[in-house]
Amino acid sequence: MTAFAPRPVLSPEAHWALLADDAPHGDLTTESLGIGEAAGKIRFAARQDMTVAGLEDAAALLSLAGVAVSPTTRSGDRAAPGTVLLEGEGPASALHRAWKVSQTFLEIWSGVATGAQALTDAARAVRPDAIVACTRKNVPGTKRMAAAAVHAGGAVMHRLGLSETLLVFPEHRAFLPDEDLALLAKRLKVAAPEKKCVIEVLSVDEGIAAARAGFDVIQTEKFRPGDVGELARCLDTVAPRPILAAAGGITPENAGDYVHAGADVLVSSWPYTARPADIAVAIEPSGS
């Protein structure tokens, strides 16, 4: 069970918009069959091992449609196959209106959380305090849910956007080809003294130079684990020692290798491409 408060991430207005997007002019099939007033029940259950995310928002979608919901899990829980995640009762019109929206929402974000959990488990199997940080490369417009799913899976956000972090890419330095790294680090610390200065490097030598120049975090881009290990050993001779973040191509299959090599943080966007979780939904008349 996670420590954060189990509450919806999106606003009621956003939930209404999702429902309206799927049924802008009513449910033609349910209305044509004349079953809208019939009392029914709905049950969501895991078909696989998964980490739950988006449960509170799925419940809010059902509730707005007119379903009395009874959550049996919450975001951050791990669920085995067959675990009932959420139940509800209401008229058939409400059940069918919110069914696919809430199911798809829950499957997509539980998939991201399950991916983040897989990365975190792989890293912490090597070192229990290893940190997995997910990038801002989520689908545009979904940042709030992406961040919530990442946290549900035991990871943290690498950076939420451009406004709150200092991260110098080679693409920035292309506009300052003659700028000394030490001067660059000093300029950043003067401009934003309360922020950590992070730089992405493309070689071990560049990482050592950036550390000696005073950068707080050295982020490697697509280094092999052996190169991360070499840089980690060199950074041990620098005081104060900067944090070493390994980025680029980090997956559950190689996460442990990077932690073993000496990375303090694993930076990855892999969970955003994870398959949606498989969740079974059953709808039936009340009393059946």
For 95-141, how does the pLDDT look when each residue is reduced to its tens digit (9 = 90+)? 999 999 999 999 999 999 999 999 999 999 999 999 999 999 999 99
Instruction: Say yes or no to pLDDT of 2 above 50.
Output: no
263 and 155 in a common domain: yes
Contact of 266 with 240, CB cutoff 8 Å: no
193 and 79 in a common domain: no
Count of other CB atoms within 10 angstroms of residue 112: 32
Count of other CB atoms within 10 angstroms of residue 16: 14
Helix (H) / strand (E) element for 258: namely helix 255-261
192 and 161 in a common domain: yes
Q: Which domain holds residue 151?
A: 119-273
Q: Which residue has the tokens 């070499």?
A: 230
132 and 105 in a common domain: no
207 and 123 in a common domain: yes
Both tokens assigned to 40? 């029914």
Cα–Cα distance, 66 to 16 (Å, whole number)? 12
Residue 210 lies in a domain: yes
268 and 127 in a common domain: yes
HSE-CB for 103 with a 13 A CA cutoff? 20
- pTM attached to this predicted model: 0.94
Percent of the chain with pLDDT over 90: 96
